[in-house]
Structure 1
Amino acid sequence: MEQIQIIDSKKHVGETVTIGAWVANKRSSGKIAFLQLRDGTAFFQGVVVKSEVPEEVFQTAKNLSQETSILVTGEIREDSRSKFGYEIGITNIEVVSESHDYPITPKEHGTDFLMDHRHLWLRSSRQHAVMQIRNEIIRATYEFFNNNQFVKIDPPILTGSAPEGTTDLFETNYFDQKAYLSQSGQLYMEAAAMAFGKVFSFGPTFRAEKSKTRRHLIEFWMIEPEMAFTHQEQSLEVQEQYVAFLVQSVLDNCEYALDVLERDKEVLKTYTKLPFPRITYDDAIELLKKNGFDDIEWGDDFGSPHETFIANSFEQPVFILNYPKAIKPFYMKPHPTREDVVICADMIAPEGYGEIIGGSERATDYDFLLEQIKNHGLDEKEYSWYLDLRKYGSVPHSGFGLGLERTVTWISGIDHVREAIPFPRLLNRIYP
């Protein structure tokens, strides 16, 4: 008899199969038992009818406890009443391992309790759906960049310097010198772009930022493409194509997960329409001031309420262009006609989800970069390799970084970024 996964039920309607699963929940009467089953691919219902099975099978079904692992045998049939669309009429149950006093019950639990039991909370239907969407975004990321002739390059996680200063870095001992956990692979991607043309990295990054907002993690994953012979406008086109591709891929391949999360798919479809709107930093400040944001002045960075209002003014992801030089990192290209701004852009997601991409055209002038490094109090020796890129065949180049967890949070429509990563690292949490 064939053993299948729940997700493949539609291929086996009318067939008798075996499925390895866990009991997510159950309810029973004197004559019928309904088992909510999960196997890692999906959730669906198993039905045990007392009059159609041996007595011991029905008693086993009635006595199953939450998260007991079992092998069930039965016939797959359509179930139009469920979101999944299929169920199994169970004829036999084999208990693999019993579960007793499972701590996460169907009742409401507090966030701290659930985070303490994150290793078990991942089994729930909503968390499972979020992780499926995360997985699809990762899969689609590789597809997009492979289809567009990008080469994946892996930057180091341990670095001797910091692209954006050392204030939010985790410091560690590297034998007889200091090292830091990477906060970005970008500088290394610039080196790789000079060798391969178009590259991207995908890996963990770390920020020792003492923030407790729903948008911040201490450890998170970044996708960081870099493109040689590319100006900012060309980079913006890649960014919007990439984000639209991610949204469409989730719509195409995660319908069940989106239904579990009750995500509005019609709203998501509007995020695939290109081009995305663009607004300059100057105009964004003016827009905010006209709408009662008296707390913002030219030269300030945007907070969550500001980003939310700007994005909601367009109801699509929106690029904010050309921020003040003083609030951006040293490596950004200066504006050709203004000394106070740099050629950069942040992409702000709608619905209050904030910045998901930060990017810029990179400075290519050796003397300018050297001056910037000195002005930022950075060690010239630590950046000598980076300056070399401007000595040996420098070209216009641009790149960006997309935060995976913020993107998962936005596309999933969930409230907090901590649910967008399997085991979140937060200001006061490193367990489990």
Structure 2
Amino acid sequence: MEQIQIIDAKDHVGEVVTIGAWVANKRSSGKIAFLQLRDGTAYFQGVVVKSEVAEEIFQTAKNLNQETSILVTGEIREDSRSKFGYEIGVQNIEVIGESHDYPITPKEHGTDFLMDHRHLWLRSSRQHAIMQIRNELIRASYEFFNKEGFVKIDPPILTGSAPEGTTDLFETNYFDQKAYLSQSGQLYMEAAAMAFGKVFSFGPTFRAEKSKTRRHLIEFWMLEPEMAFMHQEESLEVQEQYVAYLVQSVLDNCDYALHVLKRDRSVLEKYTQLPFPRITYDDAIKLLQENGFEDIEWGDDFGSPHETFIANSFDRPVFILNYPKAIKPFYMKPHPTREDLVICADMIAPEGYGEIIGGSERATDYEYLLEQIRAHGLDENEYSWYLDLRKYGSVPHSGFGLGLERTVTWLAGIEHVREAIPFPRLLNRIYP
């Protein structure tokens, strides 16, 4: 007897197969039992008809508890009533692992309760769908960058310095000196770009920022490409092509997950239309001031309400270009005609999801960078290796970072970023 996974049921219609699964839910009458089964690949229904199986098999089916693990044998058949499209007509059930008093029942539970049981909550159909979208974004990212000729380079997680200062960093003892958990791999990716041309990294980053908003995590994952011999405008084209590629990949490969999440495909389809609109920081400030945001002044960074209003003025992701130098990190290239600006851009997602990409063209002049490092109160000795990149064949180069969890949150259409990562680390949460 062939053992298959639920996701492959379409290839076995009319065949008798065995599937290892958990019982997500069940309902039964005197003559028939319906088992909602999951195996990690998908969910579908098992139908146990009393008159077609031995009495002990039907009684086993009726007595199955939520999350009991079983081996179920039966015939795969089409099921036009379900979105998945297939079910199994059960002939035999073998109980593998009993489950009693499973804490997450089909009733409503509070957020804290669900977060305390995150190790079990991941089994639910909604969380499963979100993680499927996350997985697809990771898969599609590797595919996109490999197709475009990028080399994956892994920057260190423990660093002796910080690309944006040490204010929001986790400090640790590194034998007889201080070290920090990385808040970005960018500086190291610049070094890698000088060796390989086009590179990208994917890994965890850490921000000790005491924020409780629905957009913030303490530990999150970033995709950080860096490109030698590339100016900002070319980088923006890569960014929008990449994001459109991610959206299309979710549309192509996550139909069932989008159905579970009730995500409107037609809304996502708009986000594949290029180019994305662009607005300068100057014009964004004017737009806000003309529409009731009297609190915002030139030189301020944008908060969530500001980003949401700007995004809602367009129907696709929008780039905000060239922010004030005073509110951006030291490594950004200065604007050629404005001393108060740097060449950078943030991509703001529509529907109120905020910034998903931050990027810039990098400063290439040794003396300028040294001056900026000093002006930001950073230790130039810690950055001597970074300055070396400007001494030995400096070239124009640009890069960006995409926050994976924010992108998952946006494309899945969910409210809070904490559901976009398997085990979220929040201001007051490090369990489980």
Give TM class, smaller chain: over 0.9
Deviations 1:12-36 (A, max 9, x none): 1111110000000000000100000
The answer to whether the aligner puts 1:46 opposite 2:46 as a matched pair is: yes
Counterpart residue type for residue 264 of structure 1: D
For 1:143, the equivalent position in structure 2 comes to 143
Q: CA–CA distance in 1 between the matches of 2:87 and 2:288?
A: 52
1:221-256 per-position Cα deviation (integer Å, ceiling 9, x unaligned): 000000000000000000000000000001000100
Corresponding residue for 1:421?
421
Letter in 2 for 1:234: E
Query: How far apart in 2 are the matches of 1:293 and 1:9?
Result: 55
Q: Give the match's secondary structure for 1:90.
A: strand
Q: CA RMSD in A?
A: 0.4
Q: After superposition, what is the alpha-carbon deviation per residue over 1:105-148, rounded to whole angstroms, capped at 9, x for unaligned?
A: 00000000000000000000000000000000000000000000
Q: Whole-Å Cα distance in 2 between the matches of residues 173 and 200 of structure 1?
A: 29
**3-state DSSP class of the match of 1:46?**
strand
CA distance in 2, matches of 1:150, 1:30: 61
Q: How far is 1:278 from its partner? A: 0.2
3-state SS, counterpart of residue 230 of structure 2: coil
Q: What pairs up with 1:182-197 in 2 under 5 angstroms?
A: 182-197=182-197
Post-superposition CA distance 1:170-194 (Å, at most 9, x none) = 0000000000000000000000000
Structure 1 CA distance for aligned equivalents of residues 273 and 3 of structure 2: 42
Residue 264 of structure 2 corresponds to 264
Whole-Å Cα distance in 2 between the matches of residues 4 and 35 of structure 1?
17
* Cα distance between partner residues in 2 of 1:391 and 1:73: 68
Counterpart residue type for residue 95 of structure 1: V
- Match in the other structure for 2:31: 31
- 1:7 and 2:1 are equivalent in the alignment: no
Partner of 2:323: 323
Q: Distance in 2 between matches of 1:401 and 1:54?
A: 59
Residue aligning to 1:230: 230
1:291 aligns with 2:287: no
Cα distance in 2 between the residues matched to 1:352 and 1:10: 38
Instruction: Give, as a single letter, the amino acid of the residue that structure 1 aligns with 2:236.
Output: L
Opposite residue 296 of structure 1, the aligned amino acid is: I
CA shift for structure 1 position 359? 0.1
Specify the SS of the correspondent of 2:383: helix
Unaligned runs of 5+ in 2: none
| Cα-to-partner distance string for 1:293-347 (whole Å, 9 max, x where unaligned) | 1111100000001101111110100000000000000000000000011000000
Partners in 2 of 1:309 and 1:88 — Cα distance? 49
3-state SS of paired residue (1:382) = coil
SS in 1 for 2:91: strand
Paired residue secondary structure (1:51): helix
C-alpha distance in 1 between matches for 2:203 and 2:310: 30
Q: How does 1:31-430 map to 2 (within 5 A)?
A: 31-430=31-430
Partner-residue secondary structure (3-state), 2:323: coil
Q: Which runs of 4+ in 1 moved over 2 A?
A: none
Structure 1 portions without partners, runs of 5+: none
Which amino acid is 2:191 matched to?
A
Report how many aligned residue pairs link the two structures. 432
Instruction: Give the CA deviation at 1:83.
Output: 1.2
Q: Identity of counterpart residues, as a percentage?
A: 90
Partners of 1:134 and 1:420 in 2: how far apart? Answer: 7
What SS does the corresponding residue of 2:251 show, helix, strand or coil?
helix
Spell out, residue by residue over 1:253-281, the C-alpha distance to the aligned partner (whole angstroms, 9 max, x if none). 01000000000001100000000000000
Provide the C-alpha distance between the structure 1 equivalents of 2:27 and 2:395, rounded to a whole number of angstroms. 66
1:378-411 Cα shifts (integer Å, max 9, x gaps): 0010000000000000000000000000000000
Q: Give the aligned residue type for 1:242.
A: Y
AA paired with 1:192?
A
- Matches of 2:414 and 2:45, distance apart in 1: 25
Task: Report the Cα distance in structure 1 between the residues aligned to 2:293 and 2:52, rounded to whole angstroms.
Answer: 68
User: Structure 2 CA distance, aligned partners of 1:75 and 1:86?
Assistant: 10
2-structure distance, mates of 1:105, 1:188: 47
Q: SS where residue 21 of structure 1 aligns? A: strand
Shift of 1:206: 0.2
Q: 2:60 aligns to what SS in structure 1?
A: helix
